[in-house]
Amino acid sequence: MNTHLVSLATAVPSHEIRQNDIALAAEAVFADRAETFRRMRPIYGNAGIGKRHSCVPLEWYGQQHGWPERHSLFVDNALDLLQCAAEDCLVRAGCAPERVDGIVVVSTTGMTAPSLDARLMERMPFRRNVQRLPVFGLGCAGGVLGLARTAALARANPGQKWLLLVVELCGLTFRPSDQSNSNIVATAIFGDGAAAALLSTDGDGPRLTASGEHTWPGTLDVMGWHVEDDGFGVLFSRDIPSLVRRDFRAAVDGFLASAGSGLDGIGSFVLHPGGMKVVDALEEALDLPQATLDTARAVLRNYGNMSAATVLFVLERALAARQPMPMLIGALGPGFTAGFAMLERA
C-alpha cells in the first residue's frame, strides 16, 4: 500500500535580507578576525545566494543574545510559520484541521517542551486525540527523512491523514561571539523557512514508494551543533563537497537497488542544496549534466539553505514545473547521513 503526497506548502518569515547587506554586517561582526574574514569574504559572492528570509531584522545578528531570548523567538516565530504552512497545505488539500489524524514536526534549530505540535494545537482546531511526533536532530536531512517517517505512519494507518511540518530558524542560532570559520560560512548560506505536507493512503497525488538512508562511520564531526553557554555553536566541515564526490554515489546506488531501480530510471532529482559547492559536487557524484539541479540552485539563490525545510521548497517547485517522475528526493544531514525517498506518479 502506497502513501500519497496529497498537498505541499511552504512559508517564509517577513524579513528579506540581501546577500550584500549580510556580507557588510558580517564584516563588522568578525572585525576581530579581519584578515581571515577578508580572505573568506568571496564566499558571499560564490554561495549562489541573492537573498534570504529571516524572522529577525539584520541588526539583531550583531548583538549578543542568550538562551532565554533565543528560545522565546524560536517558539513564537516557528509557530507563526508552521501555522501559515499548515493552513495553506490543508486548504490546498481541501482538508479541515479536524480531519488530521497525526502530526509529525521536524526541527533542529530550536527545542521546546511542550513541543511545537502541542503548542500548535492551541492555535489550530486539530482534534484533541490527534497523534503527535516531534523529531529533533536530523538537521538538513530532516525534510526527506520526515517525509519517509510520516509516509510510514500513514501507510501503517490506512485511510488516516498525516501532516508533516518542518520549520528551521537557522538565523536564530547565530552567535557573534563565535569567530570560527564555520560561523563565517554559516552567515553566508543559512536562512529561515517552513514547509507542510499532507500524506495519506487515500488520495490521488504522487506516491511515496520507497525511502531509505545511509550513515557513514566516523563522521560525527562533519556537521551538527556544539551546545554553548549562549546558544548552539555550528559544526560544519569544509570537507563536505569532497565527501559528496567520493561517497554519495555508492549510497544512492545502494538505495535505488533496494527500491528495485537504478540511476538511469530516475526522471528528475530533488536534492537538498546545502551550498553551491555541494550542488556542484552532487552533479559530479551522480554524473549528471550541468544544470540538472538548477531547481535546487534557484531555491538556494532565493532562500539560502533553510536546513530541513529546503528540500521541500525544491520539491514544491519541481512538482509545479511538472518535472518527470520518478523523482529521487535526497538530502544530507548530521550523522553524517544521507536520506532518500522516491516519488512516483499516482
Residues 23, 113, single domain; the answer is: yes
Write the single-letter amino acid at 325.
M
pLDDT higher than threshold 90 for residue 58:
yes
Residues 191, 211, single domain; the answer is: no
Which of 141, 168, 200 is at the close of a domain?
A: 200
pTM score of the predicted model: 0.95
pLDDT higher than threshold 90 for residue 69:
yes
Least confident of 33-47, 160-174, 258-272: 33-47
Please give the sequence-ordered ranges of beta strands (E in DSSP) within 149-272, or none if there are none.
Answer: 161-169, 192-200, 207-215, 223-228, 231-236, 268-271
Residues 221, 177, single domain; the answer is: no
So what's the pLDDT on residue 185? Answer: 87
Sorted by sequence, the CB contacts under 8 Å of residue 219 that are 6+ apart come out as: 243, 335, 336
Q: Is 140 a catalytic residue?
A: yes
Q: Between 182 and 93, whose confidence is greater?
A: 93
**Rounded CA gap, 5 and 321, in Å?**
16
Residues 30, 176, single domain; the answer is: yes
CB distance 163 to 89 below 8 Å: yes
CB distance 310 to 290 below 8 Å: no
Residues 166, 220, single domain; the answer is: no
CA atoms in the 13 A half-sphere facing the CB of 276: 16
89, 95, 140, 170: the catalytic one is 140
Residues 190, 215, single domain; the answer is: no
**Rounded CA gap, 187 and 191, in Å?**
9
So what's the pLDDT on residue 201? Answer: 96
Write the single-letter amino acid at 43.
I
Residues 82, 186, single domain; the answer is: yes
Residues 113, 177, single domain; the answer is: yes
Which of 200, 225, 244 is at the close of a domain?
A: 200
Residues 52, 176, single domain; the answer is: yes
In the chain, the number of structural domains is 2
Residues 72, 135, single domain; the answer is: yes
Give per-residue pLDDT as tens, 282-311: 999 999 998 999 999 999 999 999 999 999
Could you check whether the bond before residue 134 is cis, i.e. omega within 30 degrees of 0?
no
So what's the pLDDT on residue 267? Answer: 96
Backbone angles phi, psi at 167, to 5 degrees: -140, 135
Which of 175, 200, 225 is at the close of a domain?
A: 200
Spacing of C-alpha 57 from chain mean position:
21
Give per-residue pLDDT as tens, 149-183: 999 999 999 999 999 999 999 999 988 888 888 88
Residue with cell 519541481: 318
> Residue 6: in which H helix or E strand, if any?
strand 3-11
pLDDT higher than threshold 90 for residue 32:
no
Residues 288, 166, single domain; the answer is: no
Give per-residue pLDDT as tens, 99-155: 999 999 999 999 999 999 999 999 999 999 999 999 999 999 999 999 999 999 999
Residues 280, 160, single domain; the answer is: no
Backbone angles phi, psi at 199, to 5 degrees: -125, 145
So what's the pLDDT on residue 257? Answer: 96
Q: Distance from first CA to last CA of the chain, Å, rounded? A: 12
pLDDT higher than threshold 90 for residue 239:
no
**Rounded CA gap, 213 and 252, in Å?**
9
Calculate what percentage of the chain has a pLDDT beyond 70. 100
- Whichever domain contains 173, its CATH number is 3.40.47.10
So what's the pLDDT on residue 229? Answer: 83
Mean of pLDDT values over 251-280: 94
Sorted by sequence, the CB contacts under 8 Å of residue 7 that are 6+ apart come out as: 89, 90, 92, 93, 95, 197, 198, 205
- Which domain range does residue 293 map to? 207-344
Alpha carbon distances (Å) from 313 to 176, 278, 304: 29, 17, 11
Listed residue (334, 291, 335, 341) closest to 315, CA to CA: 341
CB distance 201 to 1 below 8 Å: yes
So what's the pLDDT on residue 100? Answer: 98
Sorted by sequence, the CB contacts under 8 Å of residue 60 that are 6+ apart come out as: none
